[in-house]
Amino acid sequence: MVPMVRIPPTRKSVTFLVSEPAANTAMTTGSKRVNLLDLDEAGLRAFFESIGEKPFRAEQILKWIFHHGVTDIGAMTDIGVSLRQKLMRIAEIRLPEIIREQRSIDGTVKWLIGFHGGNAIETVYIPEPKRGTLCVSSQVGCALNCSFCSTGMQGFARNLTASEIIGQVLLAAQALGHERNGRRRITNIVMMGMGEPLLNFDAVMPAMSLMRNDLGFGFAAKRVTLSTAGLVPAIYRLRETIDVALAVSLHSPIDELRTELVPLNRKYPIAVLMQACRDYVSAKHKRSVTFEYTLIDGVNDHPEHARKLVKLLRTVPSKLNLIPFNPFPGTSYRCSSASRIAEFKEIVMRGNLIATVRKTRGDDIDAACGQLVGIVQDRTRRSERIKIKLAETSP
Ligand code: SAH
């Protein structure tokens, strides 16, 4: 692994190149060994059984990785030498690598994290007085093509593996000096980075399970949030699979406009999406859904939109997160004015919605929502991909 170099916060934002992608060996060598970081507790138990070992070995491995920060199988001293040797032949614990770290003047940190094949994604840490949120990516690029998101403009290369997703948290925890039982620099994780997490269900679930599990990071359900553009069948699957908070990117209370902003709306229109949200919160302990609404000047920020939003969201236990649009090169959209945002918020609050305006963070390092781009190497034709993906997720 490339050693992490800590950079003290300065008044200017700084960019630090930790390693050149070309010099990064793990990114150019594929490996045939099982990466144990791709498996959650259930997966690890099954793995040990499949190699004729006791399932409780899973607990030992997880504690070494997540409680003691040890990824060298050879150093796992409570596992017998012969089993360690056997494991080292067939398995490994392989993290992705930090290519670049950027620190904003406001404390936000953005990492470019690279994988074999030359692809890279971005992970962002947002410190606030009482919490620290880590924004994690689920795909290299994104296939959904939302018109106001720069990740979509990069095209789509591939899904991340579970190890590449949980690896982002491990690398950030290490870089930030996060302590499980001490200084908990990371208090919340949001799957709001690059990609649509519900289009990568099979890798996102074990990764989130490791975020939740006490043998892993041990975050409470309300502190791990999955954000989706509204993949309805997968919202139902999510409900059956894991207990996490749900955020839904809404952006318009009107189908025609929402389809323009989030083309996935054509397949799962607002009424169907709202029903899925109601069903999600009514199950078990989920108290509310967070709706994200990016305010774009002259597009979805009219007072009439706010009034329609009030009517719509009254039907779902929810919170509303208003996000000022973050511009990026090549977009013709602009951010709504401060007075427009204030007026919008005023209307929805008068309508008894719980609304917050998200402060834009990490502006100087392009770390805000929709600004994450990474390196999307093997991008394929987006429209083709989306057709395939959506066909796969049809109920
Ligand atoms: N695919 C998932 C998660 C990634 S996007 C989803 O759609 O929810 C995380 C949030 O940032 C989403 O609400 C997204 O709509 C919003 N976003 C994307 N581009 C943005 C931009 N340029 N400005 C502000 N918010 C943006």
Residue 344, pLDDT > 80, answer yes
Q: How far is the CA of 249 from the centre of ligand 1 (A)?
A: 7
276 CA to centre of ligand 1 in angstroms: 20
Tell me the best of 231, 250, 292, 341 to mutate to test the pocket of ligand 1, counting ligand atoms within 8 Å of each CB and taking the most.
Answer: 292
Among 126, 192, 264, name the best residue to mutate to test ligand 1's pocket (greatest count of ligand atoms within 8 A of Cβ).
Answer: 192
**pLDDT tens digits, residue range 62-117?**
999 999 999 999 999 999 999 999 999 999 999 999 999 999 999 999 999 999 88
374/137: higher pLDDT = 137
**Which helix (H) or strand (E) covers residue 190, if one does?**
strand 188-191
Q: pTM of the predicted model, to two decimals? A: 0.89
Q: How far apart are CA 211 and CA 170, in angstroms?
A: 10
Residue 53 and residue 82 in contact, taking contact as beta carbons nearer than 8 Å: no
Instruction: Determine the distance separating the centroid of ligand 1 and the alpha carbon of 33, expressed in angstroms.
Output: 35
Atom of ligand 1 nearest to the CA of 370: 19
How far is residue 254's CA from residue 273's CA, in Å, rounded to a whole number?
A: 12
**Cα dihedral sign, 308-314-315-318:** positive
pLDDT at 180: 81
Is pLDDT above 80 for 250?
yes
HSE of 173, CA atoms in CB hemisphere, 13 A: 25
- How far apart are the CA of 176 and the centre of ligand 1, in A? 25
pLDDT of 394 over the 70 cut:
no
- Is the pLDDT at 30 greater than 80? The verdict is no
The tokens of 230 are what?
Answer: 């509204």
Closest-lying ligand 1 atom to the alpha carbon of residue 333 = 22
Question: How far is CA 239 from its chain centroid?
Answer: 18
Catalytic positions, written as ranges? 122, 369
Query: Which residues are near ligand 1 (CB < 6 Å)?
Result: 146, 148-149, 192, 196, 227-229, 249, 292, 294, 323, 325-326, 369-370
Residue the block writes with tokens 């002259």: 298
Average pLDDT over every residue of 294-309: 98
Closest residue to atom 17 of ligand 1, CA basis: 370
DSSP 266-324: GTS-HHHHHHHHHHHHHSTT---EEEEEEEBTTTT-SHHHHHHHHHHHTTS-EEEEEEE
CA distance 323 to 350: 19
Best residue for ligand 1 mutational test, from 150, 323, 325, 335 (most atoms within 8 Å of Cβ):
323
Q: Quick one: pLDDT at residue 376?
A: 76
Which residue shows structure tokens 């040990």? 48
> What pLDDT does residue 179 have?
85
Question: Residue 13 contacts by C-beta under 8 Å, 6 or more apart in sequence?
Answer: 102, 103, 104, 105, 364, 365
Q: What would the pLDDT profile of 162-184 be if each residue is shown by its tens digit? A: 999 999 999 999 999 998 888 88
